[in-house]
Structures are given as structure tokens and as C-alpha cells.
Amino acid sequence: MTGRDCDETVLAESANQRRMRRYRLAGKFVSRARDFICRLDGDAPLENIMPADPVETAPKTMQIWVDADACPNVVKQILFHAAERWQVNIILVANRLLSTPPSRYVKAVQVPAGFDVADNEIVRRLQPGDLVITGDIPLASDVLQKDGHALNPRGSFYTNDNIREYMSMRQFMDELRSSGVETGGPAAFSNADRQAFANQLDKFLMKAL
């Protein structure tokens, strides 16, 4: 064996020794970690604590809830188009049977008739970050309290900054009607309202999705 061959053999043995030493250290670390975790969990089997194959959890996607009993049909059509364009789930909640397009992203939920039944169902199923389409101010307030977003069919967002003003105005109008004052109904839904709603919806979805 030449001197060069001898040097290469020594280097190979040294590398093997270093590798084996790392393996032994790693084995001791895993063993100690196993014992520590088992003690924390009351001597439970390690496989029940640390699965061999980690399970990936799909990120939650926001949904759009529609207070559909009073929602204008033109707004529903905008939402149906947005559902396909953005591939976002839209759930219409009403106390009557609704007709919806054949879409995997559009669903309808019928609830029993009754005061605020549809509103309560939306609030119950709402998740933080979801969007609710409604002109009902008390419902919008409940949505904000659950960290959701509320958009009026005329294209105005209810926010934590303006919801009290909306609530105060609603109470004032109720008091006028109770005293016999004729306040009239809301203005007719216009093309400007339709465009404002479509624009606000698109801006919201661009940020949320």
C-alpha cells in the first residue's frame, strides 16, 4: 500500500467514525425526547403523540352569506357571477325556497318562518372573516361583533366606526314612525346602487382571496 493509499484509508475511517458518532448522538437525542414526551403525556405511546406522517390542514376560505329574503335580484345575479369568477362559496339564507343557478359555489338554506330566524342562522354559522350581504342594521352589528364583514346591497360597508351611527338613525326613524310620522320607504334600487355594490364586492374579494 502506498503512502497515498494509506492516507485515503485513514481519511475514510475518520469520516466513518465521525458519521457513526453523529448517529449515536442523534439516537440519544431522539431517545431522550421520546422519554420526555411520554412523561408529559402520562406514558402514552409516542405514536399517539407524534404521528409519523404530518397531516396538512387546508387553509380556511372565507364565505359569503346573503340575507336573501330582502336582497334585490340584481344583487343576487352579481353574487352568482362573482361566485364563478372568484370560486368563492355563497350561501343564501331565507325563510322561503330559493331558486339558484347550477353552481358548485352557490347554495341556498331555507329556515323556518319567524322573526330574525334567518338572521340568527347567519350569525350562528358565520366565521371570522366571512362576508355578509345585508341591509339589516342589527344583523350587520352582530356580524361585526363576530369579526365578520357586512356589505349593504347598495354598496356601503358597515364598519365598527359607523355602525353606531346607523343604529342611532334606525332607532330615530322607528320613533318617528311610532309617533305617526310618515317617513316613506327606501329609495328605489338604482343602476348607481348596482354599480357601487359590484365595485365594492370586487375590491373586497381582491383583498380577501
- Residues 176, 183 contacting (CB under 8 angstroms): yes
Q: Which of 62-76, 87-101, 170-184 has the lowest mean pLDDT?
A: 170-184
Contacts of 195 (CB under 8 A, 6+ apart): 155
Q: What is the pTM of this model?
A: 0.70
Give residue-wise pLDDT tens across range 5-33: 444 443 444 555 555 555 455 455 445 54
The CA dihedral of 65, 70, 72, 77, to the nearest 10 degrees, is 30
Q: Which of 162, 136, 159 is nearest to 148 (CA)?
A: 159
- Residues 92, 114 contacting (CB under 8 angstroms): no
Between helix 137-145 and helix 117-125 the angle, nearest 10°, is 20
- Look at residue 200 and tell me whether its pLDDT is greater than 90: yes
Mean pLDDT of 68-80: 96
Beta-bridge partners for 86: none
Distance, CA of 113 to CA of 111 (rounded, Å): 7
Distance, CA of 104 to CA of 175 (rounded, Å): 44
Beta-bridge partners for 106: 90
Burial code (b: 16+ CB inside 10 Å, e: under 16) for 145-184 equals eeebbbbbbbbbebeeeebeebeeeeeeeeeeeeeeeeee
DSSP state of 50: S
Q: Determine the pLDDT at residue 1.
A: 52
Q: What is the mean pLDDT of the chain?
A: 80
CA distances (Å), 2 to each of 5, 16, 22, 40, 209, in order?
5, 21, 30, 57, 68
- Look at residue 55 and tell me whether its pLDDT is greater than 90: no
